[in-house]
Amino acid sequence: MNKYTFTEGEIDNLRYGEQRFGDFLSFVEAKDPSKYKPIDNLLELTKNIYQAKHGIVTSNNTIHIDKTMPMITNTNSTEEEILAGYILTFSLMIKSSKNLIKSDVPADVQVQILNYCYETACDKSLWVCFQIEHYMHSLKFMHGGMGGLPGRTPDLEEP
């Protein structure tokens, strides 16, 4: 099989961390390398986008989910703001998953929220979707799919 030949059924079954998923991302990137180039240091970039939009919210520069989620859903958000909103929302929910469960936000509701944010972001921009997929593929705890979500505190940088 050609490295860049994919069936629709195969694409639907690709998993983060698999070689074929990496091949698929490379295939997409090769279609338009000027547009679909993975962003290095994505988490740091998204923090900078958040700060440019919202400024320093508290003395310790805390990022708030009530500001990240609207970055995804707002019709006036740029692609970069949508991407920042998703990556930061995802990171905050992963870091806070256990506390959210203790606060009566069950794991399945957390997954629904993240799925809604993902679908909304990807529906707005294929570029955003590519960046999200590339980022998720790079996270070891995501390998194999969504196995790291939620209720587990992976070793991520603090948002």
Q: Where are the domains of the chain?
A: 8-142
Check whether 136 has a pLDDT greater than 60. yes
Check whether 3 has a pLDDT greater than 90. no
Q: What is the tens place of the pLDDT at every residue in 107-128? A: 889 989 999 999 999 999 999 9
What is the rounded average pLDDT for all residues in the chain? 83
pLDDT, mean of residues 11-27: 85
Residue 146 is predicted with a pLDDT of 47
Number of residues in the chain: 159
Burial of 130 (0-12, 13-18, 19+ CB in 10 A): buried
Check whether 154 has a pLDDT greater than 60. no
Residue 54 is predicted with a pLDDT of 87
pLDDT, mean of residues 137-158: 55
Residue 28 is predicted with a pLDDT of 86
Q: What is the tens place of the pLDDT at every residue in 59-103? A: 566 788 899 999 999 999 999 999 999 999 999 998 888 888 899
Q: Which two tokens stand for residue 153?
A: 């505190």
Measured CA to CA, the distance from residue 150 to residue 109 in angstroms comes to 10
CB 20 within 8 A of CB 122: no
Measured CA to CA, the distance from residue 136 to residue 22 in angstroms comes to 11
Residue 57 is predicted with a pLDDT of 57
Check whether 58 has a pLDDT greater than 60. no
CB 63 within 8 A of CB 43: no
CA atoms within 13 A on the CB side of 111: 11
Q: Higher pLDDT residue, 90 or 155?
A: 90
Residue 95 is predicted with a pLDDT of 87
Q: What is the tens place of the pLDDT at every residue in 8-18? A: 777 777 888 88
